[in-house]
Structure 1
């Protein structure tokens, strides 16, 4: 009589058999292409299973997005509105600055209002040599630029032209180690020599006597000695004065008033050889023209003479 339930192989024998079969299948799949169609069919069959198992996660993400916090959305909306307002303000300010820049450049080109003739140049490059302090500007020999010409920005003296090409020039900054400029303290007229250090942040005043009347905050202006730079232009401001009892001279450092690392538009100065009377006459004429009271240029008279009377815009016909 047969038993009702036949006894099969033990569990360990089955595990061993499946293990061997799995190893054989992996070796065959790695070495041969015979199982590629089978693997493709299995992937097609298991695709719905993958989609179903991923369904809860995708559903949870969708629900989370639908029920996002209303306060967070309002806060983000307020932030975006504030940023848009700031950008609009900057745009308006840029438009205002552009118009102001045009007016200032026109004023600077009206050189009759100042003692010296100037033209406006623009910085177009920096000298690649790290051991020099030089810049390149867009004015050259075609514009009348000459070697040794002083260069300023809106805040003070920057340097001088050292090389002139037809359409551009190189300018040596006052902070270059090879550059020195005669200066005087605006407060008391004390003369000194300001030398470059290779650092755009400061200049050094060398051979200043220990007893010299110099203080932190004093303004240094060009003295005009040497006939290279016009007198009276701001150069630097004293930032540090060190007294060393063992040294015969003071250690003085000054910060340039010109924005050497930031200025883009520069002034090239032409020395004015006119007499003070001629300068005053030209300045008065330019002021009258700016006020709309003068229609035609007035020919300069001899030195010491009074400015010519303004010409009326319209004259009555003579009978």
Structure 2
């Protein structure tokens, strides 16, 4: 075996422990040098530029899922808020409508009370229940009758003036024929001229001054009282 030494490639190098110590010392030296001299900053920046597209590509699916989740969550939240706002708006609308109705009713009642104070005669407050079934007449049914002292022929007024006349009386109800009925008439006076006449119902919601002389002093806009 003399003269057969191993080739240079297979020659043993330094011991593993020596290699470990060497590389540890080299690493510490590079770290200390980088901390003081910052000579690896440009290298790191170059690596970050090269790695940026890969980072974006890796983060895109997660960002898409997160954004989609946020979008649908926001959409559901907006739908819920919109539904709540609509419900609240409906409730507020109903409340305002009730308040308006109460205000109108209060104004009407105050007007009736003032009219009652102006008229020192005995009166009974009644409410219209429904319209009479006869389509060719102008009649309504009141919720007060003979038990409340209602009698046929009595006049019925509201806050604006005469409404009509009681034509039939029942124990608990009574029939009111309005002035606009074709069979109703009432004596009136033209305020401006003092002319006295009779006002007749026409049956279609209007009234007419009939049997006037050709030279009667009546003009459009005249106020007529009874």
So what's the TM-score if we normalise by structure 2?
A: 0.56
Name 1:218's counterpart in structure 2.
Answer: 222
Larger Rg: 2
User: Is residue 90 of structure 1 aligned with residue 90 of structure 2?
Assistant: no
Query: Helix, strand or coil: the match of 2:124?
Result: strand
Greater strand share, 1 or 2?
Answer: 1
Name 1:193's counterpart in structure 2.
Answer: 198
Closer, same or farther: CA 71–208 of 1 in aligned 2, 3 Å:
farther
User: Which segments of 5 or more consecutive residues in structure 2 lack a partner in the other structure?
Assistant: 1-70
Larger RCO: Structure 1 or Structure 2 (Cα < 8 Å, ≥ 6 residues apart)?
A: 1
Name 2:152's counterpart in structure 1.
Answer: 147
Q: CA deviation at 1:188?
A: 2.4
Name 1:125's counterpart in structure 2.
Answer: 130
User: Are the counterparts in 2 of residues 158 and 173 from structure 1 also a CA contact under 8 Å?
Assistant: yes
Q: Which of 116, 124, 127 pairs up with 2:121?
A: 116
Name 2:52's counterpart in structure 1.
Answer: none
User: Which segments of 5 or more consecutive residues in structure 1 lack a partner in the other structure?
Assistant: 1-63, 223-319
Q: CA RMSD in A?
A: 3.5
Q: CA deviation at 1:155?
A: 1.5
Name 2:43's counterpart in structure 1.
Answer: none
Q: CA deviation at 1:143?
A: 2.0
Q: CA deviation at 1:104?
A: 6.3
Q: CA deviation at 1:75?
A: 6.5
Greater helix share, 1 or 2?
Answer: 2
Count of residue pairs the alignment pairs up: 158
Name 2:65's counterpart in structure 1.
Answer: none
So what's the TM-score if we normalise by structure 1?
A: 0.41
User: Are the counterparts in 2 of residues 139 and 168 from structure 1 also a CA contact under 8 Å?
Assistant: yes
